Amino acid sequence: MAGNVNMRDPYRAKKMRVYFRFSMIAVACVVVVAIAAIMMNTGNKNIDYSQSKFVQYDTPEDSATVAVFETTEGTFKAVLYESEAPEYCEYFKKLVDEGYFNDTYACTMLRTGGVTGGFIAGSKTADGTAADDTNTDMVTVEISPNMLPTKGSLGSLVREGGRFSKPKAGSVFTVLSDVVDIEEMRSAAEGDVNGFKTVCDIFEKYGGVPNYLQMYTLFGQVYDGWETLDKIFSTRIIDETAPDDKEDRDLRPEHEIKFTRVYLSTYGEQKQNGFNIPLKQGSVKISTSSEDSASEDSKS
């Protein structure tokens, strides 16, 4: 596992597709191990989700900050959760205000076994290599028990910390899709340790990439523009027919995908289509603790 330190550094002069291969292999191979470690207190960064609010599934206040992503494939919008990742959101908003993400690339599709787990975005180059104007500032990774890596969530890529340093989050980020095998996930642990059952229910409802738990700062949630997002997720990659274990498999999109403009607004200004996070086919409505609280408030 020592090699992961370099693979997790998006600012080395290596292609991002190589850097991220570990995460997609993990999606296919070690979901059970990752979830079991998290939910059964076998790791050093345990999170108790039993009291979590799971804020990304609640309709935000009109004043909530929204990032609008205009791309060559269309537009999508995401709420930023400044209370859950304050340092990273401040950093991200500063970059947006400076126009940093305008004319950047979706440089890598996270594709394993023909299934897309999301894509890497915010790169100054089409192949994910660092450029002279790449922002290399880093902030401490922030882990919130109220955020989950379900479909449409935004997460920062990180540089892994050493023995005396913490992991750091940078300017490159991911937009996640859905690769979860819910039956495999449920079989990873027994009972409802640390809110495991509710977490499973949410992944079954919305889909997502569960091995991202505790790996990245989750800071946003897409709520509008799903047609655009699904169009990007379904984009073929250059080495579409190459085997997953091909050493230099090219995961770049077959055609160029760019963020033409990214800007900040508020939910009140960007709620024409409402707050919509689509359910997976065949899933049923469940209530999170925050939804239960809202229901109780309405009764009183």
Show me where the domains of the chain are located: 4-291
Distance (Å, rounded) from C-alpha 131 to C-alpha 116? 26
pLDDT at residue 68, as a whole number: 98
If pLDDT is split at 50, 70 and 90, which confidence band does 283 have? Answer: low
Distance (Å, rounded) from C-alpha 171 to C-alpha 101? 9
Residue 40: pLDDT over 80: no
Distance (Å, rounded) from C-alpha 153 to C-alpha 33? 22
| Nearest Cα residue to 244 out of 26, 6, 15, 8 | 26
Average pLDDT, the chain: 80
If pLDDT is split at 50, 70 and 90, which confidence band does 193 have? Answer: confident
Mean pLDDT value of segment 87-114:
95
Distance (Å, rounded) from C-alpha 44 to C-alpha 46? 6
What's the pTM?
A: 0.80
More confident residue, 12 or 217: 217
Residue keyed to tokens 């993400």: 101
pLDDT at residue 194, as a whole number: 87
What is the per-residue pLDDT across 198-212, written as a single tens digit (0 to 9) for each?
Answer: 999 999 999 999 865
The percentage of residues in the chain with a pLDDT greater than 90, rounded to a whole number, is 56
Distance (Å, rounded) from C-alpha 159 to C-alpha 297? 42
Report angle CA 230, 235, 241 to the nearest 5 degrees. Answer: 135
**Cα separations in angstroms, 181 against 31, 73, 102, 112, 277:** 8, 28, 35, 14, 19
**Cα separations in angstroms, 39 against 49, 92, 169, 180, 185:** 9, 30, 24, 16, 11
Residue 34: pLDDT over 70: no
pLDDT at residue 169, as a whole number: 83
44-58, 111-125, 254-268 — which is least confidently predicted? 44-58
Q: 107 burial class (0-12, 13-18, 19+ CB within 10 angstroms)?
A: buried
pLDDT at residue 187, as a whole number: 85
Distance (Å, rounded) from C-alpha 257 to C-alpha 81? 26
Mean pLDDT value of segment 180-199:
86
Asked if residues 67 and 264 have their Cβ atoms less than 8 Å apart, the reply is yes
Residue 24: pLDDT over 80: no
Quote the crossing angle between the two packed helices 16-29 and 31-39, to the nearest 10°: 70
1-10, 114-123, 175-184 — which is least confidently predicted? 1-10
The percentage of residues in the chain with a pLDDT greater than 70, rounded to a whole number, is 73
Query: Any idea how long the chain is?
Result: 300
What is the per-residue pLDDT across 235-248, written as a single tens digit (0 to 9) for each?
Answer: 999 999 999 999 88
pLDDT at residue 112, as a whole number: 85
Give me the CATH topology for the region 4-291. Answer: Cyclophilin (2.40.100)
